[in-house]
Amino acid sequence: MDQAQFTQLTDLILGAAFRVHTELGPGLLESAYKACLVYELRKVGLQVETEVPVPMIYDQTKLLDVGYRIDILVENEIVLEIKAVETFAPVHGAQLVSYLKLAKRRVGLLINFNVVHLKDGIRRRVNGL
């Protein structure tokens, strides 16, 4: 996938996130935002997987289930980590970067729905692979 395709896909994802936030506003549980975002993404025809296991490789051994899960994976390319927190903590960004590395994906979005203006709750990360 080239940069233009990533940008187009990211725009679709953010449009869906803005629709969800406009409808629901801040103050709900993360699970509510995630369910509504998945619905919106599928409604525009995107392939969406949820709670995708992220295998860990340690000492050249693949450890299948150590509990890491990607909240939402869109078109098998973009990792979405959904939050409903008062403010981002450094660990939230680190978690997304780790998921990108472990899952061998290039682009991730950290979206916090518990903000007045959603634009203030979006962080984009790119993994150089």
Going residue by residue through the chain (129 aa), what tens digit of pLDDT does each one get?
888 999 999 999 999 999 999 999 999 999 999 999 999 999 999 999 999 998 887 788 877 677 789 999 999 999 999 999 999 999 999 999 999 998 999 999 999 999 999 999 999 999 876
Please list the residues that pair with 73 across neighbouring strands: 49, 79
Q: Is the pTM of this model over 0.85?
A: yes
Token pair recorded at residue 25: 């506003």
Closest CA to 37 of 48, 26, 52, 53: 48
What is the C-alpha separation between 99 and 5, in angstroms, rounded?
A: 21
The topology under which CATH files domain 3-126 is: Trna Endonuclease; Chain: A, domain 1 (3.40.1350)
